[in-house]
């Protein structure tokens, strides 16, 4: 049954000159058929580089919008238009306009997990893999409004030591729910393991407080975790992020052990995408994600800056 579905998807991709771009949190069968698998920054870069006419975004809505902004000539499809993001929903354009009024000279840095309308009101976008670099590229005397993720923002403040960053109080419900105690208990079960933590996690500060003799902690994006695990001499890793990433970590490193810091860390939005919905997306050309030209023109500037910062 699944083989037939995969064959159908392959044939439809050829017919429509389409590629499938999947995020590292997608369910296993989708990761396995993706033409490209990566973190938010890598997906944006790949969308821009691809020669295909149709991009099927196996991920969440803001990722499809990002691809549409960067590639206006390509048809961008999301297999389920309800695949949203609890973090992106924590700020509305009206709220951002009010915040900007309080700090009229501030530079607005928006995490890529935001709507196109928020990006259009921003100066820079960033992802978890380049947030520190993006902030460091900004004049240190300028105030910065960093949104919407409080934990990523706090990590950027900690790493850049900048005093003039104001951080929005948003969170991803999946990462925020990875509790300190559960993470610490998991680490204690695996002496000698390294701890890999996504900066959206509420447990980041606690992870950094773990003495290195108990576990080395690294704060990394999903692609950052993948490249770190490839080269680290450690054999066991406790991973604090959405559990979909474990599939790729295990596949790429069959001799190493990867344990979820919290087994329940599953993003319901990423898991709304299925092979059937991808087949239907290709078969019926649904659901088209197209950002209006007025919003696109403004949102392209911060996104181009994000893609340019390595
Ligand atoms: P990255 O893949 O950029 O690390 O982001 C994680 C995430 O939560 C995407 O929604
Ligand atoms: Fe959004 Fe969190 Fe899901 Fe990522 S894991 S898509 S931030 S809800």
DSSP 20-52: EEEETTS-HHHHHH-SEEE-HHHHHHHHHH---
270 ligand 2 Cβ < 6 A: yes
Q: What is the mean pLDDT of residues 223-233?
A: 96
**Ligand 1 centroid vs 38 CA: distance in angstroms?**
9
Round to whole Å and give the CA distance between 31 and 234.
25
| Ligand 1 pocket: which of 21, 22, 24 to mutate (most atoms within 8 A of CB) | 24
Domain check: are 235 and 256 in the same one? yes
Asked if residue 1 has pLDDT above 90, the reply is: no
Domain check: are 57 and 126 in the same one? no
**Ligand 2 centroid vs 63 CA: distance in angstroms?**
11
249 ligand 2 Cβ < 6 A: no
Domain check: are 161 and 304 in the same one? yes
**Ligand 1 centroid vs 222 CA: distance in angstroms?**
6
Domain check: are 60 and 104 in the same one? no
Q: Does some domain include residue 305?
A: yes
Confidence of residue 268 (pLDDT cuts 50, 70, 90): very high
221 ligand 1 Cβ < 6 A: yes
For 63-86, the pLDDT digits (tens) are 999 999 999 999 999 999 999 999
The pLDDT value given to residue 2: 87
222 ligand 1 Cβ < 6 A: yes
Name residue, tokens 């999301």. Answer: 78
Q: Which of 287, 212, 226, 294 lies closest to 57 in space, CA to CA?
A: 287
Nearest ligand 1 atom, CA 222:
4
Domain check: are 101 and 47 in the same one? no
Cross-strand pairs, 22:
37, 58
For 273-307, the pLDDT digits (tens) are 999 999 999 999 999 999 999 999 999 999 999 99
Domain check: are 71 and 208 in the same one? no
The pLDDT value given to residue 81: 98
Q: Does some domain include residue 151?
A: yes
**Ligand 2 centroid vs 141 CA: distance in angstroms?**
32
Report CA Rg, the chain.
19
Q: What is the mean pLDDT of residues 163-175?
A: 97
Q: Please give the structure tokens belonging to residue 34.
A: 């993706």
Domain check: are 165 and 96 in the same one? yes
Q: What is the mean pLDDT of residues 184-204?
A: 95
Could you tell me how far CA 282 lies from the centroid of its own chain?
24
| Ligand 2 pocket: which of 40, 87, 265 to mutate (most atoms within 8 A of CB) | 87
Residue nearest to atom 3 of ligand 2 (CA): 267
**Ligand 2 centroid vs 175 CA: distance in angstroms?**
8
CA angle 63, 56, 34 (to 5 degrees): 100
Q: Does some domain include residue 222?
A: yes
Name residue, tokens 């004049």. Answer: 139
For 102-146, the pLDDT digits (tens) are 999 999 999 999 999 999 999 999 999 999 999 999 999 999 999
Q: Does some domain include residue 265?
A: no
Nearest ligand 2 atom, CA 242:
5
The count of structural domains within the chain is: 3
- Helix-helix angle 275-284:2-16, to 10 degrees: 30
Q: What is the mean pLDDT of residues 79-97?
A: 98
Q: Give the CA distances from residue 7 to residues 13, 192, 247, 262, 286, in Å, rounded to whole numbers and listed in that order.
A: 10, 43, 22, 35, 19
How many percent of the chain have pLDDT more than 90?
A: 96
Domain check: are 80 and 143 in the same one? no
Residue nearest to atom 6 of ligand 2 (CA): 85
Domain check: are 305 and 158 in the same one? yes
Domain check: are 133 and 190 in the same one? no
Q: Any idea what the CATH number is for the domain that residue 280 is in? A: 3.40.50.10800
Q: In this structure, what DSSP letter does residue 254 have?
A: T
SS (H, E, C) 122-155: CCEEECCCCHHHHHHCCCCCCCEEEECEHHHHHH
Q: Please give the structure tokens belonging to residue 59.
A: 């991920």
Round to whole Å and give the CA distance between 87 and 21.
21
The pLDDT value given to residue 66: 96
Nearest ligand 2 atom, CA 172:
2
Confidence of residue 309 (pLDDT cuts 50, 70, 90): confident
Round to whole Å and give the CA distance between 69 and 64.
9
113 ligand 1 Cβ < 6 A: yes
Q: Does some domain include residue 228?
A: yes
130 ligand 1 Cβ < 6 A: no
For 236-260, the pLDDT digits (tens) are 999 999 999 999 999 999 999 999 9
**Domain range holding 248?**
178-260
The pLDDT value given to residue 128: 92
Q: If DSSP codes are grouped into helix, strand and coil, which group holds residue 59? A: coil
Round to whole Å and give the CA distance between 259 and 237.
6
Domain check: are 190 and 246 in the same one? yes
Domain check: are 210 and 227 in the same one? yes
């Amino acid at each position: 049954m699944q083989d037939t579905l995969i064959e159908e998807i392959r044939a439809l991709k050829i017919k429509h000159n389409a590629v499938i771009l999947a995020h590292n949190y997608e369910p296993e069968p989708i990761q396995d058929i993706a033409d490209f698998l990566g973190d938010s920054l890598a997906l944006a870069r790949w969308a821009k580089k691809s020669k295909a006419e149709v991009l099927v975004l196996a991920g969440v809505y803001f990722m499809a919008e990002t691809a549409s902004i960067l590639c206006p000539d390509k048809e961008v499809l999301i297999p389920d238009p309800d695949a949203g993001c609890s973090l992106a929903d924590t700020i509305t354009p009206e709220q951002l306009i009010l915040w900007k009024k309080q700090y009229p000279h501030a530079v607005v840095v928006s995490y890529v997990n935001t709507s196109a309308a928020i990006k259009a009101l921003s100066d820079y976008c960033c992802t978890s893999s380049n947030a520190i670099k993006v902030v460091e590229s900004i004049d240190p005397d300028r105030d910065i409004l960093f949104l919407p993720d409080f934990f990523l923002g706090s990590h950027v403040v900690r790493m850049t030591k900048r005093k003039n960053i104001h951080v929005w109080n948003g969170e991803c419900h999946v990462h925020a729910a990875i509790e300190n105690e559960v993470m610490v208990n998991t680490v204690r079960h695996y002496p000698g393991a390294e701890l890999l933590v996504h900066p959206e996690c509420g447990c980041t500060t606690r992870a950094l407080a773990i003495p290195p003799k108990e576990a080395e902690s690294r704060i990394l994006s999903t692609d950052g975790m993948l490249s770190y695990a490839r080269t680290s001499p450690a054999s066991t890793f406790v991973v604090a992020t959405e559990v979909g990433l474990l599939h790729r970590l295990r596949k790429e490193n069959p001799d190493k052990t990867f344990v979820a810091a919290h087994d329940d860390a599953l993003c319901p939005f990423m898991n709304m995408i299925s092979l059937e919905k991808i087949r239907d997306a290709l078969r019926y050309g649904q659901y088209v994600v197209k950002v209006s030209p007025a919003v696109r023109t403004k949102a392209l500037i911060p996104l181009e800056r994000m893609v340019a910062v390595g």
